[in-house]
Amino acid sequence: MPHPPAVEAVDLVKTYGKGNRAVHALRGITFHVAPGTVFGVLGPNGAGKSTTVRILSTLAAPDAGHASVAGLDVRRAPDAVRRALGYVSQRPGFDPMATGRENLMLQARLQAVPARQARRRTQELLGRFDLLEAADRLCRTWSGGMQRKLDVAMGLVHDPRVLFLDEPTTGLDPQARRELWDEIARLARNEQVSVLLTTHYLEEADQLADHLLIIDDGRIVAQGTPQALKAALGSDTVRLELPDRGQAERARAALGALPGVSGALADETAVSARVADGVDALPGVLAALRRAGVRAGSVAVASPSLDDVYLHHAGRRFRETVPDVPTASTPGSTAASASTTAPTSGGGGREQVQA
Ligand SMILES: Nc1ncnc2c1ncn2[C@@H]1O[C@H](COP(=O)(O)OP(=O)(O)OP(=O)(O)O)[C@@H](O)[C@H]1O
Ligand SMILES: [Mg+2]
């Protein structure tokens, strides 16, 4: 790696309580965050996400292991670590009875930002998060999305190089979530802020994280780029809808005979098979169908989703563990015969072509 990591965690262990009441929040977690990237920590409730962030922010001490932020050891140099990072807690951190501007100014002064600089930074952050219009209204009158943006802005008042966001978008509607995603991505891309965010939204992890750590029950389940994690599962699914009943078996045999195709299955009006790369395999699949005299109504290619990744490594579906995952990211949604659909986020990326 050309630069030292923005965050390094090595063998972090944390247990709350003792004896048969002990809760093993972290059982040995190791990762590093490359500078200027968005690092996602994805896990169901109780996985250990907040514990990880609290240790990195010096708010909790690990029982074993060590961690550093911006090259500073969290145990040996906690004050310097706190100056280097911005921390946005899972719970709201603003004062509802103060205005947005007052909240930002107070936070800046708590971070020892000089008054004139604090005023300038407050104005700049209000503008950047699109909060200027409401800036001088009490925050209790703000929408949930505006309030969460204020929390994130408050984490940035002292211009930290590393930002920890603990579930920044939980409970937000899809549009507010997307606005916050844009701002978080911009922080990393344009300002080289290193962002570590926790989430239990598959879609958020998939869209936003350059690198992803999936944790469950205090352990790492998998880590890598979202693309690599999905690609490591090794297979896409190709699904053909057949307008003429009775052609399915012929289509299945034609597909099954192709090199690189496995698990070809037919029902009355559709055939599906697994291939390493669906888009690469499509021309061969379509040619084989033509040779066999089969007419396909539509062809859909679905790539593995992060839910498939989680299932593969944790042995259960992620959405079985989280009650409020939006249904929009459900993989394997019904294929329509539209000419092209954008890949569905989070759930299986799906591309579709008219055969
Ligand atoms: N202060 C504490 N005292 C006792 N147990 C705790 C404490 N903090 C966390 N835990 C336990 O440690 C485990 C991990 O909690 P943590 O808050 O890190 O999970 P999380 O992944 O952030 O979950 P969520 O998605 O619900 O926020 C849980 O079983 C939790 O109950
Ligand atoms: Mg948490």
Which residues touch 340 (CB under 8 Å, ≥6 apart)?
351, 352, 353
- Nearest residue (by CA) to ligand 1, atom 12, is 25
50 alpha carbon to ligand 2 midpoint, in Å?
Answer: 4
Which tokens belong to 62? 């690990």
Please tell me the distance between residue 24's alpha carbon and the centre of ligand 1 in angstroms: 9
Residues with Cβ within 8 Å of residue 192, at least 6 apart in sequence? 35, 36, 161
Q: Looking at residue 60, what is its pLDDT?
A: 96
139 contacts 94 by C-beta, under 8 angstroms: yes
Q: Is the CB of 200 under 6 A from ligand 1?
A: yes
Residue ranges per structural domain of the chain = 7-229, 234-303+325-354
Q: What pLDDT shows up at residue 317?
A: 73
The per-residue pLDDT for range 166-194, each reduced to its tens digit, is: 999 988 889 999 999 999 999 999 999 99
Which stretches in the chain have pLDDT values below 50? 1, 325-355
Q: Is 239 in the pocket of ligand 1 (CB under 6 A)?
A: no
Is this structure's pTM higher than 0.85?
no
Domain 234-303+325-354 part of CATH 3.20.90? no
For the chain, give the longest Cα–Cα distance: 78
Q: How far apart are CA 307 and CA 200, in angstroms?
A: 11
The rounded Å distance from CA 50 to ligand 1 centre is: 7
Mutate to test the pocket of ligand 1, among 13, 14, 16 (most ligand atoms within 8 A of CB): 16
Taking all residues of the chain, what is their mean pLDDT, rounded to a whole number?
87
168 neighbors 152 (Cβ within 8 angstroms): yes
Count of CB atoms situated within 10 Å of the CB of 210: 17
Tokens 């925050």 belong to 139
Residue 324 is predicted with a pLDDT of 53
- Is residue 61 lining ligand 1, measured as CB closer than 6 Å? no
- Decide yes or no: CATH 3.40.50.300 for domain 7-229: yes
pLDDT at 128: 94
